[in-house]
Amino acid sequence: GRTQTEDPSLTTQPRNDRFLRALRREPVDCTPVWLMRQAGRYLPEYRATRKAAGSFLAMAKNPELACEVTLQPLRRFPLDAAILFSDILTVPDAMGLGLYFVEGEGPKFERPVRTAADIARLGVPDMGSDLRYVTDAVSTIRRELDNSVPLIGFSGSPWTLACYMVEGGGSKDFARVKSLALNDPAAMHRLLEVTTDAVIAYLSAQRAAGAQALQVFDTWGGVLSPAMYREFSLRYLKRIAAELERGEGTDRTPLILFGKGNGPHVADLAASGTDAVGVDWTIELGEAARRAGGKVALQGNLDPVTLYASPEAIRTEVGRALDSYRDGNGGSREGHVFNLGHGMSPDMDPAHVAVLVEAVHELSAR
């Protein structure tokens, strides 16, 4: 296989390095922007590729098609980063749970994890075989990007993956996974330990294949009480930040810890050893910057629903988020990566995405 050391083209810095510079809190000409779920059903070209592939999973498991849909939003908008087209649930799928999608119902597992015996059977999947389609997609995308913008690799957080593994799909109240944590914390910790090992191996494999930044999605950390968040989510995010090899200087592969509803925990996350923290719109970006105290870069945090609003309202809200960050960061825009506070929805208007991206670059120009 190709690795960073074998292929010199993979270590070359991208021509547009705003995103990587912002993650290092270095000066940039304007604030970089990318959007969670920037590839997806809101784009007609995505729907066409998906239709031709037959299903979401067929598309995600085919490196050429995953590459195609990764590049689609970059052909339309001057985004400052690409994100690998895949899903967080590829890891539990490779652990043997059997991922499938029911139209209109979201992801499901054929074999959810319910008992201590189920947990004892789990192991770290082999990156070279079970998840080879993901690292092949990463190297295909790097080749096609040709060092134009950096490529982000990603994983779910151990807690968020455990939510899907135990619930067997999405959930309204997370009663099953929380009950397991409350009734048998030792079993829950065994599940989170093996999942953390898998996440670290998965992110390392994406880095070796050419990913230039890595994001962990802790989508469901915010459903926990503060005490349970520290015990069942934060602890494992810290282990990832401490154990994941990332390199040094301009060769460093920065780590972004994104979490929905993680506002109360920004200070702890900033001290976790991560390079950046991604927040949603329920915390003022300036307040997040004050709590982070300049230790990390921040990513966020426009409410995705803003994309349904008028172009004027979008510009106003973009300006507000940019200025809030600057005011909380001692008057400097450095160390901010603009993003939504969560992913885009299928019924959003691509023309409004163009307005958002242009507003970020224009209103933040130094």
Going by the annotation, the residues of the binding site for substrate are 37-41, 87, 164, 219, 342
The catalytic residue among 24, 37, 114, 132 is 37
Active site residue 333: no
> Interface with ligand CP3 includes 85 (CB under 6 A)?
yes
Active site residue 41: yes
Segment near ligand CP3 (CB under 6 A); pick from 4-12, 35-43, 187-195, 270-278: 35-43
Segment near ligand CP3 (CB under 6 A); pick from 79-87, 199-207, 232-240, 274-282: 79-87
> Interface with ligand CP3 includes 40 (CB under 6 A)?
yes
> Interface with ligand CP3 includes 224 (CB under 6 A)?
no
Active site residue 87: yes
- Residue numbers 4-33 binding ligand CP3 by CB under 6 A: none
CB of 224 to ligand CP3, least distance (A): 15
- Residue numbers 279-338 binding ligand CP3 by CB under 6 A: none
CB of 332 to ligand CP3, least distance (A): 28
CB of 290 to ligand CP3, least distance (A): 26
Of the candidate residues 36, 208, 211, 302, the single one contacting ligand CP3 (CB under 6 A): 36
Active site residue 164: yes
Segment near ligand CP3 (CB under 6 A); pick from 39-47, 225-233, 349-357, 358-366: 39-47
Active site residue 130: no
Number of chain positions touching ligand CP3 (CB under 6 A): 19
Write the secondary structure of the chain as one string of H (helix), E (strand) and C (coil). Answer: CCCCCCCHHHCCCCCCCHHHHHHCCCCCCCCCECCCCCCCCCCHHHHHHHHHHCCHHHHHCCHHHHHHHHHHHHHHCCCCCEECCCCCCHHHHHHHHCEEEECCCEEEECCCCCCHHHHHCCCCCCCCCCCHHHHHHHHHHHHHHCCCCCEEEEEECHHHHHHHHHHCECCCCCHHHHHHHHHCHHHHHHHHHHHHHHHHHHHHHHHHHCCCEEEEEECCHHHCCHHHHHHHHHHHHHHHHHHCCCCCHHHCCCEEEEECCCHHHHHHHHCCCCCEEECCCCCCHHHHHHHHCCCCEEEEEECHHHHHCCHHHHHHHHHHHHHHHHHHCCCCCCCEEEEECCCCCCCCCHHHHHHHHHHHHHHCCC
> Interface with ligand CP3 includes 56 (CB under 6 A)?
yes
Q: Would you tell me which residues interact with ligand CP3 (CB under 6 A)?
A: 36-41, 50, 56, 83, 85, 87-89, 106-107, 154, 217, 219, 343
